[in-house]
Amino acid sequence: MLIKPLLDENELLRKVTMGNEHAFKILYDHYRRLVYPRAFYLLKSESLAEEVLQEVMLKLWQTAGKLKADTNLAAYLTTLTRNRSFTLLKRKALEAKTDLELGKGWTEQDNGTEEGILLADTKKLLAKGIALLPPQQKLVYELCHLEGMKYEEAAEKMNLSVETVRGYMKLALRFLRAYLKTHTDVVALLVIFKLF
């Protein structure tokens, strides 16, 4: 899909560098029509395409000040989208291979008590990870994931844009997954998936 650049794109990028959320929203709304369809075409998954969209736009928010004035933003975002999509495809292939390996010789047994203890320990570990989050990420995680608020509701409560709330949630989840992976073993990871 061919997306024409915005007339005042360089000015919008300059404003984004200064933290202007309105300028970012204009860029986000304009270029989501490029990023999401491309990610969906590559990944064949709405949720994964949405994940790529959020990550690409978060990257734009973080790198807007580093882009040169003559940067072709559409090409830049297309490259980010392709690279992130391929990374996700590789991860999914690795997960499928791992699931297959773990599934060999797996027998279903009733380990209710053991699983209950493991789940309780994992919840404690998750609580420690949540406590380590930066304040804004922690609040977004608690509002959206623990209290069940929608991003729009959390954004209104925190006086932030929905895109910012999504970005904070993405960063919080990424940190928590990494934290749990480094503080637990494979069996516990299987139980953790029940929490996410």
Query: 40: which 2 tokens?
Result: 């969906």
Tell which of 36, 71, 96 closes a domain. Answer: 96
Residue 147 lies in a domain: yes
In a domain, 186, yes or no: yes
Residue whose C-alpha is closest to residue 140's, from 128, 152, 129: 152
- Of residues 70 and 188, the one with the higher pLDDT is 70
CATH number (domain holding residue 186): 1.10.10.10
Q: Is 121 in the same domain as 181? A: yes
Rounded to an integer, the average pLDDT of 173-181 is: 79
Over residues 24-37, mean pLDDT: 93
First to last CA, the chain: 34
Are 66 and 142 within one domain?
Answer: no
pLDDT for 191 equals: 47
Look up residue 79 and give its amino acid.
Answer: T
Q: How confident is the model at residue 114 (pLDDT cuts 50, 70, 90)?
A: low
Could you tell me if 121 and 83 lie in one domain?
no
State the pLDDT at residue 183. 67
- The whole-number average pLDDT for the span 94-118 is 60
The pLDDT mean for the chain works out to 81
pLDDT at 187 over 80: no
The pLDDT > 70 percentage for the chain reads 79
How far is 140 from 137, CA to CA, in rounded Å?
5
pLDDT at residue 76 greater than cutoff 90: yes
Question: Rg of the chain over CA atoms, in angstroms?
Answer: 20
Which is more confidently placed, 184 or 136? 136
How many domains does the chain contain in total?
2
- Spatial contact of 169 and 145, defined as CB atoms under 8 Å apart: yes
Q: How far is CA 53 from CA 45, 96, 137, in A?
A: 12, 23, 19
Same domain for 85 and 29 = yes
Q: When comparing pLDDT for 184 and 124, which is higher? A: 124
Q: Does 148 score more than 90 pLDDT?
A: no
Domain that holds residue 137: 112-192
pLDDT tens profile 4-20: 777 788 888 889 888 88
- Is 1 part of any domain? no
Q: Could you tell me if 141 and 182 lie in one domain?
A: yes
State the pTM of this model.
0.51
